[in-house]
Amino acid sequence: MSSHNGPEQAGHGLIGGRYRLGERLGRGGTGIVRRATDELLGRPVAVKTLALDDGADPAGALREARVVARIRHPHVIVVHDVVEHDGRPALVMELVEGGSLADRLATGRVLSPRETARLGLDLLDALGAAHALDVLHRDVKPANVLLEKGSGRAVLTDFGIASLPGATTLSGTGVFVGTPEYTAPERMRGDDAGPASDLWSLGALLCAAATGTSPFRRDSLGAVLHAVVYDEIRPSEVMGPLVPVVRGLLERDPDRRLGAAGARRMLADCLAAAQEADGPEADTPSIAASRAEDARPVPDAHPEPTPRQPTPPEAHDPGGARERGAAGAGRRGGLALPLVAAAVAACVAAVTVAVLLAGDRRTTDTGAPTAPGSSSTGPAAAPGPVPAGYTAVSDERGFTLAVPAGARRSTDGDRVFYTTGDGAVWVGIRIRAIPPGGAIGAMRYADESGPGTNRGYRDATVEEIRHKGLPAARWEFTWDGFTAAEGPRHTVDLCWEQAGTLYDVWASAPVDRADEARGYFDTALGSFRTSGRTSGG
């Protein structure tokens, strides 16, 4: 949906036997959005009708409705109904009272780094929910992000050109699909595109949110396309701690681009650092528009580690995607505008050009960044009796515990992993400040985010418990795993509050080794000590 642009009056007819149309709220690429009243239920709604003069495909509206109906997420627009209007389908959606991010930026009100980080986390969750269902949005931009008045909730809308992975950048009639200054370079080249393309768009959106404009804004469409594919990308220093995550998301090679899990951790760290630095009295007019929003737990919605494991060859280049992309460069149809045709032709040449960002960030196959200084070494032994088959270790992060004999240590940001020799089972440890909402709040938020962060998330349970007399929460779930070859995994996680610190220990294994992982988990918890004291204080 486009921006809420004022009270231009439209027809006030009744459609679908119950929805009375009101003022026009905006116009997107596939239709016009109006305020309406559901006279049956007595509630306000938004109705998106296809513009009669833009050649919109009625089948596209139905497809959009079906796509959005599959994605149930608080940061994704809700479609209530589909009715007929002027012989075409009309979408009845939730009404988000408040303008779009584009509206806000148009008034010169950019977001602070703190607000931008929070917005990025919300949109990552929304995209994660879509990507888990193999849906690509393909038009992530400020005009398609609504900011709810009062609550500050960010809502991703306008799935009118959403598609399954592998869809072309051009429509069947040769018209460019998307918004060039927010479109990933691989889509400009006509290559196959996946979830990483939406993440590029998110990176450009975060730049716009914090600075007021996309980093690829130029005077002509041809110049925009050239900037996306060729020009050096220099995120503004005004973005402060957000610069590294934006650099990672705007990596031109999709195989090296920062993944969703890595971006989420970096944005959560930015938000936590900003909250600590600013303090509760330093809030600017926020997306949240209230301090209550700041009470939301900083998510750790994807506790799975990204240890360095041997990667199946097909994971590096699924089905020869690079070769298909290069060969497919000559199969694109003509564009509607000669200027676009010339610009895209120039972009095709870029398939042979490797443009690298400053601040190189390599990622694992799960999309999470490998933290600078990550280690993968044998654990240092610590004295003390341990069960047979285990080794007691004294970790440099300030804790001791018993891990499987032969386990190797690795780190990913503030998380530490001890992985069995075959790389299949691991124990993870994370130590951080207690987030708002405490242990149970963190676990409940992680569970809510689970479907968007763990493919095939299912059989989840979250319960509030006591661990050695301390407030704690336990979370278990099954998911589809990192690769089809590896198969489903099961994770068990327990975090507890102690002396102002949240301690989190979990174990993960293929489902057929879940009992083995539970044994490692129980032993790790029972043997965990910090600062010379028991975990129970």
Q: Which residues are annotated as catalytic?
A: 139
Rounded Cα distance between 417 and 394, Å, is: 13
> What is the distance, to the nearest Å, from the Cα of residue 488 to the centroid of all Cα atoms in its chain?
22
Question: Contact 514/497 with Cβ under 8 angstroms?
Answer: no
| CA separation, residue 64 to residues 48, 153, 262 (Å) | 11, 22, 29
* β pairing state of 415-419 and 529-530: unpaired
Helix, strand, coil percentages for the chain (3-state, nearest 5) = 35, 25, 40
Our CA angle for 135, 136, 142, nearest 5°, is 130
Nearest to 31 by CA among 17, 46, 18: 46
Rounded Cα distance between 104 and 89, Å, is: 30
Rounded Cα distance between 467 and 479, Å, is: 26
Q: Where does residue 469 rank: exposed (0-12), middle (13-18), buried (19+ CB within 10 A)?
A: exposed
3-state class (DSSP) for residue 336: coil
Residues in the chain: 537
Rounded Cα distance between 525 and 515, Å, is: 15
Q: How many CB atoms lie within 10 A of CB 270?
A: 24
Tell me which amino acid residue 459 is: D
Sign of the Cα torsion 373, 374, 376, 381 reads positive
Nearest to 329 by CA among 317, 345, 340, 343: 345
Q: Kindly report the three-state secondary structure assignment for every residue of 274-294.
A: HHHHHCHHHCCCCCCCCHHHH
Nearest to 101 by CA among 216, 206, 234: 206
Mention every residue, 6+ apart, whose C-beta is less than 8 A from residue 471. 438, 439, 440, 464, 496, 497
Q: At what angle do helices 338-348 and 221-229 cross, to 10 degrees?
A: 10
The DSSP code sequence of 342-371 is HHHHHHHGGGG-----SS---B-TTSPBPP
